[in-house]
Amino acid sequence: MAWWLWLLVQLVVWCCAGLVALLWWKWANKPHIDAPGPPTLPIIGNILDFLEMPLTLHKIFDLHRQYGDLTRLYVGPMLLVTVAHPDDVQHVLLTSKLIDRGTLCTNAMRAFVGDGLVTIDVSRWKVHRKLINPTFHSEILEGFLEAFHDGGLFVSERLARTRGAATEVHPSVFLAAFRDFCSTVIGMNPDLVIPNALAEEMSAAVNDGVTTVQMMILRPWMQNKFLLQLTSKGRGVFKFVKIMQDWALKCIAMGSAATEDGPTKTRQRLLEALLKPGNQTAVPLDEVQGELMNLLIAGTETTAVTVSYTLALLALHPEWQDAAHQELKDVFGEGDDYLRAPSLADLGRLRVLESIIKETLRLFPTVPILPRMATGDLWLSGGSGRKVLVPEGTLLLVMPFLTHRLPQFFQDPQQFDPSRFLEDRVGKEHACTYLPFGLGARSCVGSQYSRLQLKVYLSDILKRFRFLPCSQREDLDDSALAFSLNPVKPIRVSCIPVDGCNT
């Protein structure tokens, strides 16, 4: 053997030995908690428990049934604790004021959507949140109703083309929500920003991105860009990110030109708040770009997924679909006025539809995991009354879909029953039993935007169609967990036009 080859072998052996020693040291000094969880293996912890991808609701439900409301997991030496009981939810999200989301989840999402409200560290997040909060003021949102109605009509027209065949709702709603985001939050004509064909490509890429981000969280070494690019899914993510970055830069360039021409407004939209005259920005340019990407995905994917789940559940529960149709007739009448755009007053009267949306979000909250890093020791109980010390550095994973299905707070929790919201039965036992948009400082900045958009979309769609099931309830529960909830099998329904309604 040549001397240089022998040295190379020695170097590789010693590097491997050093890496193993470092990993073993980290494992030996990992944090501990007196909470139940699955058996661990040295160095890798519970990674083998999550070999099967994607990670679905079923896996977490099984862990919850076996180990309870506080479950201990290790990804390598990192301690993760799932949180389900409202007492602990309140302490983590409200009382303790934890707002750092940690790096395990945010680094994976940052590769997908850049630096923005969802992914940036605490110090920068405070600056961004202060700038963005006013752009979702109720006075501004009321002016978006017409655009939301256009979005509802856009979806209805595309559903009408299916002529009753089984169809996936998600792509049409995603595209409509994308167009709405451009025309409302950004204030630009979507046709000038990005063509429809590219938007539809983005819809498919987001679905792939959900599972890719999940893989990056459960396989932390895949957060290395070189390793990620070796996989077909990783290459798809980088292609998608390039599309998103180009879109965001185009919006910024157009917004900067408009800023030079127009006066400062009292109520500003997103780009108006982030851009300043003279091609200056309120935060660094890459963060403006990342903010557009963050909010676009947060404002489109969640809407598309929620509408998909809602229509599938209504197809499986025709009695509630009948109730929604009757309410729409009661509010909008049955003549030529029936298909008019909804006003804010109309939406306020749609209590059945609102309860249906709330119940859908109870069963299938589109943001299924709320991560928080324990920046100090804290005590949790899992609802048992026995206090458990959670050490500093633990990544706490608040699981709304577990909290929403606790039988002590929701009777028949697996049952789709909107009446629990129609009769105001939710929240009287505990203020933190229901959190589809999060709670506390890092709750969803666009929650009111989303609620209005969902109501307008669904009212417009249900006026025009009756839905028949093509997916089973088991298909809906078989959903993957990442930055949004996403069904493993595409949700399909059959859209039957309502007599006398022209889309």
* 304-361 residue pLDDT tens: 999 999 999 999 999 999 999 999 999 999 877 899 999 999 999 999 999 999 999 9
pLDDT confidence tier of residue 123, bands split at 50, 70 and 90: confident
Least confident of 178-182, 235-239, 248-252, 417-421: 235-239
pLDDT bin (cut points 50, 70, 90) of residue 200 is: low
Query: Which domains are present in the chain?
Result: 29-497 (1.10.630.10)
Would you call 481 helix, strand, or coil by DSSP?
coil
- Cβ(306)–Cβ(365) below 8 Å: no
**What integer pLDDT is reported at residue 315 of this predicted model?**
97
Residue 494 has pLDDT above 80, yes or no: yes
pLDDT tens-digit series, residues 244-298: 888 899 899 888 876 665 555 667 888 888 988 777 888 999 999 999 999 998 8
Q: Give residue 189's identity as a one-letter amino acid code.
A: N
Tokens 């990442």 correspond to 482
Enter the tokens of residue 449.
């935007």
Mean per-residue pLDDT, 2-24: 78
Nearest residue to 386 (alpha-carbon basis) of 22, 34, 27, 3: 34
Residue 445 CB burial class (10 angstroms; 0-12, 13-18, ≥19): buried
Predicted pLDDT of residue 259: 65
Q: Are strands 78-83 and 395-398 parallel, antiparallel or unpaired?
A: parallel
Q: Alpha-carbon distance 14 to 20, whole Å?
A: 10
pLDDT at position 132, please?
A: 93
Q: Which two tokens stand for residue 172?
A: 């049409």
Q: Write the pLDDT tens digit of every residue in 20-78.
A: 788 888 888 889 999 999 999 998 899 888 888 888 899 999 999 999 999 999 998 99
- DSSP per position, 303-331: HHHHHHHHHHHHHH-HHHHHHHHHHHHHH
pLDDT of residue 322: 96
- DSSP line for 214-270: HHHHHSGGGGSHHHHHTSHHHHHHHHHHHHHHHHHHHHHHHHHHHHHHSPPPSS--H
Which residue reads 């679909």 in tokens? 321
Q: What is the pLDDT of residue 177?
A: 94
